[in-house]
Amino acid sequence: MSHRSVTAAGLPPPAGPYSPAQVFERLVFVSGQGATDPATGAMAGPDIEAQTEQVLKNVSAILEAAGSSLQHVLRCGVFLTDM
């Protein structure tokens, strides 16, 4: 059994000392992603719609770097700061 770290060009740097994802055999485990726009380094958009779109773009870039895509996602947890 082997695992490897995944990094993707054009992503905002992680907020902590971790890689954006780990691949273990055929599974990809993506670390928590925020709505940071990698082009500006700032939070994307003023509303939840724009921020959600940016998070999914970030996750998609990570999955593609790992050789996968959004269509293969089995589970996704979402944490909101304000309901």
Report yes or no on whether pTM surpasses 0.85.
yes
Asked if residue 1 has pLDDT above 80, the reply is no
Q: What is the mean pLDDT of residues 7-32?
A: 87
Which two tokens mark 67? 């050789």
Asked if residue 75 has pLDDT above 80, the reply is yes
Average model confidence (pLDDT) for the chain? Answer: 89
Residues ≥6 apart with Cβ < 8 Å to 24: 1, 2, 3
- Quick one: pLDDT at residue 11? 83
Asked if residue 27 has pLDDT above 80, the reply is yes
Instruction: Please report, for the chain, the start and end positions of each structural domain, with discontinuous segments joined by +.
Output: 3-10+18-72
- Quick one: pLDDT at residue 53? 95
CATH class (in words) of the domain with range 3-10+18-72: alpha beta
